[in-house]
């Protein structure tokens, strides 16, 4: 691909994150993450993974499974400041070839405004049993972090 | 009790959070959280809880069980900015009366600097199977969020 995309909003970075998940696109995935050793990723039911190398390797393995996912994001709660945005979302994931959606995940995504645009610094996902099924609620304006 | 504590650092708020957990102290727990409807709490293996009322009720139920916990925090990764701090920690929880520590939890804690001091806005905890046992690593200086 060559050039790395610049995300001008945290939402753009989030959209690219889930797009990379649907496309099994490791380069796009890693373009979303900050170039930083302090990045933290927790996959559902998984241990914490920290740092560029480990985060890349974890996604490489996930994408190598070849499983095709469709991800619908619902019930986003956004807390936004000048330099940091925190999104709490429900991920409704469907595996292509399976009929039913799996149980929703709840994810905490933290984005940082860097010199290279908005980048992800934390992704923490865990199964959310009993979460209401994903009907998008009316969008609310983002909450400002003072 | 009466007066609400003012936390002058995010770490002070985090210390009070885990102290309230050990003391089953609902008032201290809620003094840690921002007075805000956008707060988000995910208990281990639980669904997302949002807003003051639901978050308070969830802790009230947990504390009402009467279970006494000891919590040791390890391997903290901190990302800190002017107004927001994000802490990723391993929680090693022991139930008083049980011999062994339970499997570690991984938690993402987000703090916001408000007019009333630093307050928690997100707590997302999930079981971290296979996480290394909690030996505190050498403390690293907090990473600045530009």
The owner of tokens 């995504």 is: A109
Nearest to A124 among B46, B108, B143 (CB): B108
Kindly write down the DSSP assignment for every residue of chain B, as one continuous string: --SPP-BSSHHHHHHHHHHHHHHT-HHHHHHHB-SSTT-EEE-TT--EEESHHHHHHHHHHHHHT---EEEEEEEEEEEE-SSEEEEEEEEEEEETT-SSPPPPEEEEEEEEEETTEEEEEEEEEEE-TTPPP-PPPPP-PPEE--
pLDDT tens track for A26-49: 999 999 999 988 899 999 989 999
The C-alpha angle with vertex A73 and arms to A59 and B77, in degrees rounded to 5, equals 50
Q: What is the pLDDT of residue A97?
A: 87
Does B84 contact chain A (CB < 8 Å)?
Answer: yes
Do residues A84 and A110 lie in contact, with contact meaning Cβ atoms separated by under 8 Å?
yes
A127's enclosing H/E stretch is: strand A117-127
The answer on pLDDT for A3 being more than 90 is no
Closest alpha carbon within chain B to A89: B48
Which of A 22-81 lie inside 8 A of B, CB atoms?
A: 36, 38, 40, 42, 44-48, 50, 75, 77, 79, 81
Residue B18: partners with Cβ closer than 8 Å, 6 or more residues away: B71, B73, B91
Global pTM value: 0.88
pLDDT lower than 50: segments of chain B:
134-141, 146
Task: Give contacts of A 107-146 with B, CB under 8 A.
Answer: 108, 110, 112-115, 121-122, 124, 126-131, 143, 145-146
Beta bridge partners of A49: A41
pLDDT by residue (tens digit) across A11-24?
A: 999 999 999 999 99
From the list B47, B46, B5, B51, the residue with the least C-alpha distance to B29 is B5
Q: What is the pLDDT of residue A111?
A: 96
Instruction: Tell me if A74 sits within 8 A of A137, measured CB to CB.
Output: yes
Model pLDDT, residue B136: 43
Which token pair is B127? 């079981």
Interface predicted TM-score (ipTM) of this complex, two decimals: 0.87
pLDDT at A137 exceeding the cut of 60? no
Residues B140, B88 contacting (CB under 8 angstroms)? no
Q: How many CB atoms lie within 10 A of CB A22?
A: 13
**Mean pLDDT in residue range A74-82:** 88
Q: Which pLDDT score is estimated for B4? A: 82
What share of chain A has pLDDT > 70, as a percent?
87
Residues in chain B within 8 Å Cβ distance of A146: 83, 112-115
pLDDT, position A81: 81
Q: How many CB pairs under 8 A join A and B?
A: 122
Contact A26, A65 (CB under 8 A): no
Mean pLDDT of chain A: 88
pLDDT at B143: 55
- Is the model more confident about A3 or about A139? A3
């Amino acid at each position: 691909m060559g050039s790395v995309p610049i995300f001008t909003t945290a939402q753009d970075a989030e959209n690219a994150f889930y797009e990379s998940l649907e496309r099994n696109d490791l380069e796009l995935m890693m373009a979303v993450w900050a170039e930083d050793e302090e990045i933290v990723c927790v996959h559902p039911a998984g241990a914490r993974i920290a740092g560029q190398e480990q985060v890349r390797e974890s996604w490489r393995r996930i994408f190598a499974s070849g499983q095709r996912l469709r991800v619908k994001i619902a019930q986003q709660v956004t807390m936004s400041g000048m330099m940091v945005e925190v999104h709490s979302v429900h991920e409704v994931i469907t595996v292509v070839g399976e009929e039913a959606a799996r149980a929703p995940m709840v994810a905490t995504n933290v984005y940082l405004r860097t010199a290279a645009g908005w980048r992800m610094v934390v992704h923490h996902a865990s199964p959310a049993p009993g979460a209401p099924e994903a009907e998008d609620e009316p969008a609310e304006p983002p909450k400002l972090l003072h």
